[in-house]
Amino acid sequence: MTQIAGPALPVISFAARLPAAICPIGTLLMLTELDSIGTVGIAAGMLWTGQAVGGPFLGRYADRRGHRPVILAASLANAAAIALFVVSALTAMPFIVQAAFAGVVGLTVPQIGPLSRTRWIVLTEPVDTEDTTIARELTRRALAFDTAVDEVSFMAGPALAGVVVVLIAPAAGLILAGVLIAAFGTLFALHPTAPQGTPARTPSSRAKLLHPALMTLFAMALLQGMIWGSANAGTSALSDHLGDTGMAGFVWGAMAVTSSLAGLLITMRPIALELTLQLRIAIAAQAVLLLPLLLVGSFPGATAAIAGIGLAVAPHLIALFTLAESVAPLERMGEAMALLGSGLIVGQGMSALAAGQLAQHAGYHSAFLLACASGAGAVFVALALVRPKIMDRYRAADAPAIEAAEPAPNGTR
């Protein structure tokens, strides 16, 4: 991948994603340590809601105006919003004010993950029709690599937040997130690979984005988020049942480890399957791997089950985002990727809330049962709707390519 974009981009991209992983756990740790228990759930919900709502809009602006100005503005605004949120918590402002600042933090998240995927897609676009097969393989490898980077960032972020909160102060995790997004969000925005924007051509471009194929992929993202949210809630409930709530993060981190390893393996040795088939096999495998959760009753068992699920997560997400690259117009790719990201967030939030209530009244196994049901729903959607004829390439033939702002260092384009 460094031959395409230069050696700095993956490092910058990874560091710029850490704040999105740090902020949710950083918010929970800060407010809990400050005895703002009543604000925790509201603030966390506002943060997730803001991110889910703001993502597609930031993606759209990045598509139209270019990555550079939009990501730069969002990164600096996000750092400022984090600072205001921290101040509001430390000075014990009314919980409505704290929740509002948490919502602004979510709204201004610069969407580094979705826009990084967009950037790889632009960089691996074929120069002419003879390069199509090679370019498609490069795109698949690039998205596999980017998915692995995502998984590692969401494993490292919470760990970093926990360490700095323990060693420094309750607000240290969020302060670290603000510093990282201000520094590395700016570097990501200004990197030579940042694509220029493509102004909207016609009102029909909205209809082209909301093609049934992309909506099917959105449904798959939503269900994947529901699997995560309910399984995570079940893990937390199990940890509470076993008397050590702090273990939940370590157990859940096992999924990020195996998923990132699977993503890196696919980057090095791509799966020789048609993408719709890869997605269906991956989500079916994930549904089967969810079943052992119904039997777990200890930390080792839960860790092994969660790690097993992770083996199917990366292949599913790689197929999901690569298929999105095929069905979304190139000039609206950032918006499409952010829309799928919002699906993951919304599904995670909804199911976490529902699974938390189930676990409270019926035990942790009920939360795991919801995860299994979500997996079964995802299999049904995949088998019924994720097929080559339905996932037919939808990008308009006359769509203008999004140009990279400058040639990538040491790159092929």
Q: In the chain, how many domains are there?
A: 2
Rounded alpha-carbon distances, angstroms, from residue 283 to 122, 202, 279, 326, 336: 27, 36, 6, 19, 21
Mean pLDDT of 223-231: 93
Residues 160 and 225 in one domain: no
Same domain, 219 and 183: no
Q: Could you tell me the two tokens for 268? A: 């090095």
Nearest-angstrom CA–CA distance, 7 and 13: 11
Please tell me whether residues 238 and 280 are part of one structural domain: yes
Amino acid 144: pLDDT: 84
Q: What is the pTM of this model?
A: 0.85
Q: What angle do CA 178, 181, 183 make, to 5 degrees?
A: 105
Instruction: State whether 55 and 193 are in the same domain.
Output: yes
% of the chain exceeding 90 in pLDDT: 41
Write phi, then psi, for 195 (nearest 5 degrees): -70, 150
Most confident of 24-33, 94-103, 327-336: 94-103
**Per-residue CA distances from 213 to 1, 33, 384 (Å):** 28, 45, 12
Higher-pLDDT residue of 105, 137: 105
- Do 170 and 105 sit in the same domain of this protein? yes
- CA atoms within 13 Å, Cβ hemisphere of 263: 25
- Is 332 contained in some domain? yes
Domain with 250, as residue range(s), is 205-395
Residue 382's pLDDT is what?
95
* Distance of alpha carbon 320 from the chain centroid: 12
Q: How far apart are CA 149 and CA 176, in angstroms?
A: 19
Confidence of residue 205 (pLDDT cuts 50, 70, 90): very low
Across the strands, what pairs with 242? none
Shared domain for 26 and 110, answered yes or no, is yes
158 and 255 housed in the same domain: no
Query: Both 339 and 391 in a single domain?
Result: yes
Rounded Cα distance, 31 and 77, in Å:
22
Q: Provide the residue type at 199 as one letter.
A: P
The segment with the largest mean pLDDT, out of 121-125, 246-250, 288-292, is 288-292
Three-state secondary-structure class, residue 281: helix
Sign of the Cα torsion 381, 382, 388, 393 reads positive
Choose the weakest-confidence range: 168-177, 237-246, 334-343: 237-246
3-state secondary structure of 177: helix
Please indicate, yes or no, if residue 313 is contained in any of the structural domains.
yes
Question: For residue range 113-149, what is the model confidence (pLDDT) as tens digits?
Answer: 999 988 888 888 765 555 666 667 788 888 888 888 8
CATH number of the domain enclosing 340 = 1.20.1250.20
* pLDDT bracket for residue 396 (50, 70, 90): very low
